[in-house]
Chains A and B, each alone.
Chain A
Amino acid sequence: MSKTRRPEELNYEQAFKELEAAVQRLEAGELPLEEAMTLFERGQALAERCGELLDQAELKLRQLVPDESGGYAETDLTLKEEGE
């Protein structure tokens, strides 16, 4: 818990994994009450973060384009005829 990051900094996968772990620890029922309450709050915040991400998610489109150095760069991609 010492390396706790703010929920806003987590992506869905990270937040959901931590939420599942929190539920497991709480279900085991071995934590002191104070820690359990803290963990519960954390769980709530994580669940809210997940819900937000799920509601607001918008697929990101990129493409690889060759650059001058012979490698590739990632640029945004816009599809024609979108939203039809």
Chain B
Amino acid sequence: MSEAKRSSSSVPEGAVAPGERESRLRAWARDRIGWDDLVHLAAKKRVPVHRYTIFYYLGGMALFLFLVQVATGILLLLYYRPSAAEAFESVQYMMADVPFGWLIRSIHSWGANLFVGVVFAHLISVFFLKAYGAPREMTWVTGTVLLFLALGFGFSGYLLPWNTLAFFATKVGTDVPAQIPGIGHLLSRILRGGSDVSGATLSRFYGIHVAILPAVTTLLLGAHLLLVQRHGMSVPRSVEGKSRRTIPFVPDFLMRDMVGWLAAVGLLAALAAFFPWELGVKADPFASAPAGIRPEWYFLWMFQGLKYLPSKIAGIPGETLGVLFFSILAAALVAVPWLDRRGKRGVAVAAVVVLVGAAVLTVLALLPVPSPAKP
């Protein structure tokens, strides 16, 4: 049979036809990495089609932005120097002298914000579509922990350029754990690598940002994706009985995903070109804190909330109660699948209250600070 085929084709003797080369490659891959199983798995995966399908794209978008962060972060590592003496200057050098250094840094900074925003949106959509119900509890848990890790990336990365704003915002941020009774001060010291924010904090945050968090995130992300693959896409109850239409993940859904990813790349490029991420002024630990210091937008509601709390509530420091409240909120978020077992509306109502409260506090924190009256 193969002899007949070879004689009928125009391929010269000794040469390999393109189709045959492909089949040889596939055979090689099949024998070594089980390629056919992967193709089968991809072909088996299907995505439900209904009026909420658009929310399925948020997970893919978050994954894509995470990969952008990994790629740009690795490039930044080639020039960044993690010490109080050189960090600022190395970023300055990247922004001014390294070809396309400005682009990589700006994309990394803007990308971080988009990533956190998309992760939030993904979480909110999964929450309101109640996709955390059995058997997807662990998918939800890994997702919420991934959100906390994303916030950890944002917090640790904010200090790395070692500018005034980041320095003082980190000072405020690392003061927050100190409010926890008993172990608070120890936690704050561990975070800072000393009693105050210093070069030791920078080294520590660098290690957390480029080694510890990526390792933990990779493991959890793997688990999260595996669970999504294991349980398939959740269909909201409101549309469950109405339609059972699906499309294949590869290539139908993936191609649609890619449209979003290309748009995200365009948006990041535009932001980097028109609004390059500012570097500011080098941190001076001996200078007084400048007016209007504040953390990244996703921490603003907590920052503002702690500011509004009275110094004492029933004899307990207000900030301690605030930190306790945020800790309970985080624990409740992780435990949502178990808190919402009876399918009542209480959890959803509480979530709406928290979201509206957080939005109001964020807006209040973004309002311009009135300048002090001149004497």
Instruction: Determine if chain A interacts with chain B.
Output: no
